[in-house]
Structure 1
Amino acid sequence: MESSVKELPFCRTPAKHYQAVQFNDSLTELWNGILAHSPNGTFLHHRYFIGYHGSRFVDASTIIFYAGKAVALFPAEREGNRIYSHRGLTYAGWILASGVAPDQIPEIMRETIAYYLHLGIQRMEVRTIPNCFTAFDQESLHHLFAKLGGKTVATHVHHAIPLPHKVSDRGKKWGRKKALMHGLFVYESSDLQAFWKDILQPNLEVHHRAKPTHTWYEMQTLVDRFPDQIRFHGVYQGSELLGGAVVFDTLRCAHLQYIAASKKGRALRCLDLLMGELIEINYAHKAWFNMGVSHIPPSGVKNKGLVTWKESLGGRPVSAFLLQIDLGCYSLSD
């Protein structure tokens, strides 16, 4: 009877030149140094960002070396006999070092999988990085993962705007004029606590029966760690805060993390003014403005109204994938 156990595929480069090493605190400087020049990593993969989760996740990250040189990072956390990359981050997977050749990527991936297989891991899940954040198409990583036995178990659709872009929707342009007529203005400020407690949390509770992914304290901690990358833009009438947005500012893409307005702010169309200025002025120098996914957690049902709003601003679909590979059927050759 033929065995059901398969050998994990090799690629062209001898695997013995590659080594996956478990991350520890002594490797923090090396990790962050690689990330600073990575073509597909963002500050979400910085150790100080990953570390804000504290003991919520059991860290199982690795650094992959080739001939003694670090060539990739793999942010990960472990629960039982499963590895996730990474449930505490929007996206993760293999973060490549600058200058890594395309023909090295298959063995980087294989060595990572082999490392976790040696640890007795039965399943790996990877949340891929949307292309709007990266300098190269992530489809190649997706394809290679499939060749190693992985499969796609979910597709998450972001809506992103290629920049520069002028908002042309008539309703949005009218709303922007109305906001300006009532003296509203957009200002980057530090009023994060007021926005969180007086506007964002009440809005999510009333309209969606939900809470922000981050508490105010968690977000303020991240702002303190990444003041140049996490930015709050408020909409004001005089000194009154009517709405605002938290933007994650990465090298290629500005990502809209949170947005909300008070009842008065909605009546005065403050978000039309805010989004117009973020897209056309504040982040016009970026390649993309990403407005994130539009499904309702935890059901995953698409929020059609949110999709329509994003499309009216110029958003187009950009897919990210949840990949999975079951390791129980694999063995390793010498």
Structure 2
Amino acid sequence: MQNLTVKKYQSNYHSIWNAFVLKNNSATFLFDRGFMEYHSDRFQDFSLMVYKEDELIAIMPANIKDNVLYSHQGLTYGGLILDKTYEKKVIVAIYEVLIAFLNKHGIKALRIKSLPEFYDHTVHNTNKILKDNFKATVYQRHKVLSIDYGLPFTIHKTKLKNYRKNQNKGFVIQDNNGFDIFWNHVLIPRLKLKHKTKPVHTLEEIELLHHRFPNHIKQYNIFLNDEILAGITIFDKGSIVKSQYGATTERGEKTRALEYLFLYLTYKFKEEGKQFFSMGTVSDNSNQLGYNPGLLKQKEELGCHIYAQEFLLIEAQ
């Protein structure tokens, strides 16, 4: 492919970038500038745009740190987002001009956080091209758990039994986007107690993002006798929905409230015609296996299958 050029994203390209994201099947609202820039104070943006003559054919949400370009560290996934499926020689040509651009700007390496396999069926082939043609190495591989609604349900029989039994318990599920009660009474206390950590998003940040993307960021909370027991924050990406946060109180754990809410949403999203319900990764660097086997078992028993997400390193010089 001839006449390829690379431009660094600038604020005056805002509408062009977002128009590309809006019409692209692989791009989700996480690549919208309104989402990417909520934490612009934490990352030095160095997003790239690839043109064929005057036509924008690819974007890469990215930030730069210590002369290394990252497919954005503030996003769950990223990499090069193409406007359509291209054959191998075109992908090679695009990456050649990208790497030449990085060399010109003194950037020594590119770290790519690929889309999980079920987001884009071409990811595996693209990653193979990078390994074969640009000596890309896999420096990390995540197990991402997701329900594929195109396959028969594989929910564990015990989970189903408990779900049916608990339908008469008196649970009340609210979808009125009560982020504050979930953050302050469930998520923050639970993460502090169990993991001595905090949510990636503050309450103010998640409420800001919900205001910007009300159809994409949703909160479901489950109550018993007016007491909140658990909640799940959903990022709705169209055909794919993802549980961004899920947490329960101690009483909620005893009553299986979070499990009940997950199964309730599993059936709800199937009825809505979703293709995948992602429950995120089970990666755990503190475990010698690299993942949490207990969490893996829980998500598989909820009906999830394992998909790979590869993190690639390309030396630019």
Could you tell me which of 227, 251, 257 is aligned with 2:238? 251
Determine whether 1:321 maps to 2:310.
yes
Which protein shows a greater Rg?
1
The code of the aligned residue for 2:129 comes to: L
Distance 1:168 1:257 in 2: 21
Partner of 2:48: 62
What runs of 5+ residues in structure 2 fail to find an aligned partner? none
Partner of 1:115: 101
Determine whether 1:71 maps to 2:60.
no
Determine whether 1:132 maps to 2:132.
no
What runs of 5+ residues in structure 1 fail to find an aligned partner? 1-12, 329-334
Partner of 2:194: 207
Q: Is the 8 A contact 1:182 1:268 kept in 2?
A: no
Could you tell me which of 168, 173, 176 is aligned with 1:189? 176
Could you tell me which of 36, 43, 49 is aligned with 1:50? 36
Q: 260-269 or 21-30: which moved more?
A: 260-269
Could you tell me which of 272, 291, 316 is aligned with 2:279? 291
The code of the aligned residue for 1:290 comes to: S
Secondary structure of 1:189's counterpart equals coil
Counting only pairs closer than 5 Å after superposition, residues 164-175 of structure 1 correspond to structure 2 as 166=153, 168-175=155-162
Partner of 1:3: none
Distance 1:256 1:208 in 2: 19
Q: Is the 8 A contact 1:130 1:319 kept in 2?
A: yes
Could you tell me which of 200, 219, 227 is aligned with 1:232? 219
Counting only pairs closer than 5 Å after superposition, residues 145-160 of structure 1 correspond to structure 2 as 145-146=130-131, 147-160=133-146
The code of the aligned residue for 2:300 comes to: E
Q: 298-307 or 55-64: which moved more?
A: 298-307
Q: Is the 8 A contact 2:231 2:246 kept in 1?
A: yes
Sequence identity percentage: 26
Secondary structure of 2:5's counterpart equals strand
Distance 2:63 2:81 in 1: 15
Q: Is the 8 A contact 2:285 2:291 kept in 1?
A: no
Partner of 2:229: 242
Structure 1 position 304, deviation (Å) = 1.2
Q: Is the 8 A contact 1:85 1:92 kept in 2?
A: yes
Counting only pairs closer than 5 Å after superposition, residues 78-89 of structure 1 correspond to structure 2 as 78-89=64-75
Q: Is the 8 A contact 1:71 1:100 kept in 2?
A: no
TM-score normalized with structure 1 length? 0.88
Distance 1:282 1:186 in 2: 15
Partner of 1:163: 149
Partner of 1:332: none
Partner of 1:8: none
- Matched residue count: 312
Q: What is the aligned-residue RMSD (CA, Å)?
A: 1.7
Q: Is the 8 A contact 1:132 1:252 kept in 2?
A: no
Q: 201-210 or 234-243: which moved more?
A: 234-243
